[in-house]
Amino acid sequence: MAELTKYQQSIVKNYYANLDTALLQRLGEQVTDLYLAEGKKRDKLWTSIATSLSKLGVAASRIDHLRESDDARKLAALLQELLAKD
């Protein structure tokens, strides 16, 4: 693998430094999409949401509970909780 230039290193460093913020923003967009989604699209969206939540450090048991309830309001409440921590 090639060495990264200083500029590239700073880009990678900034990406990981701001990853939580980007994930929270994406999760907010996913909550909105979840309110409107139906069928297979909703299932696929829940898979993506579960991945985002696990990257944010949410416990697997809590993610499973949210997914089983299939309630966008509970997910929105969790998002508000995560935003308050950030």
pTM: 0.81
Is 70 contained in some domain? yes
Look at residue 70 in the predicted model and tell me its pLDDT: 92
The answer to whether 30 touches 68, Cβ cutoff 8 Å, is no
Alpha-carbon distance 33 to 17, whole Å? 26
R_g (Cα) of the chain, nearest Å: 15
Look at residue 1 in the predicted model and tell me its pLDDT: 60
Q: How many helices (H) and strands (E) does the chain have?
A: 5, 0
Is 20 contained in some domain? no
Is 9 contained in some domain? no
Report the residue count for the chain.
Answer: 86
Look at residue 85 in the predicted model and tell me its pLDDT: 84
Best CA proximity match to 58, nearest among 29, 38, 82, 35: 82
- In the chain (86 residues long), the average pLDDT of successive 10-residue segments reads 88 92 93 92 94 93 94 94 86
58: containing domain: 38-86
Is 22 contained in some domain? no
Look at residue 62 in the predicted model and tell me its pLDDT: 95
